[in-house]
Amino acid sequence: MKYYILGLLISTTFSLKAQTENLVDIDGNTYKTILFNKQLWMAENLRTTKYNDGSPIALVNNSSEWGKLTQPAYCWHNNDVKNNKNQYGALYNWYSVETGKLCPIGWHVPSDKVWLSEAYLPVGYRDEKGSYWFVKNTSFYWTSTENSTTEAYQASVLFDRSEVLRDYTSKKYGLPVRCIKNENLVLDK
């Protein structure tokens, strides 16, 4: 992957405050939130199996099927929901992000321009062949910004550098998602 600096460095000068409010998704999963640079973010990766309208998202475990998908789907790291759901969250392909219904009502997937970082758990990704990569050393997150008919932008947090990077990748990849509260939409342009 070729990386481009997103332009925002992780810095102690940003306003970072823990929130007492929790966010609950349609599955009943509870998430901590964090106020970061005047925007309310999920402090954990999304782990819902349903859209915010209650309709199910397809669970695809089979590696060869994953790479053929052109419709929304999700999976768990190494297809192990028991050990990976709460720690890493789900991995969604970009077709799930594109629906606009992945985040809880009142929240959305941030665009490429506003993707910021606080401390993130190294999550990695699932490629279009169904293999899992970089689970313990890099976090990749979908943005809501499309690059082409086959690619969308993602933000990367590399743990050997204090930067947030941007790149684009195949929409067939499985990446985690963080949501941002809609009231911040004005800042998300």
Name the band, by pLDDT with cuts 50, 70 and 90, for residue 53: very high
Displacement of CA 146 from its chain's centroid (Å): 14
Give the closest residue to 189 by CA, choosing from 127, 141, 144: 144
Q: Is 32's pLDDT higher than 50?
A: yes
Q: What is the pLDDT of residues 112-136, one digit of tens each?
A: 776 654 445 667 777 888 887 777 7
Q: Is the pLDDT of residue 30 over 90?
A: yes
Query: What pTM did the predictor assign?
Result: 0.71
By three-state DSSP, how is residue 27 classified? coil
Give the 3-state secondary structure of residue 99. coil
> What pLDDT does residue 162 have?
61
* pLDDT tens-digit map of 132-170: 777 777 778 888 889 999 999 988 876 666 667 788 989
Which whole number is the average pLDDT over 65-82?
Answer: 93
Per-residue CA distances from 184 to 12, 41, 68, 160, 163 (Å):
21, 10, 35, 30, 23
Q: Which pLDDT belongs to residue 14?
A: 34
Tell me the percentage of the chain whose pLDDT exceeds 90: 41
The helix (H) or strand (E) run that includes residue 189 is none
Tell me the average pLDDT across 69-81: 93
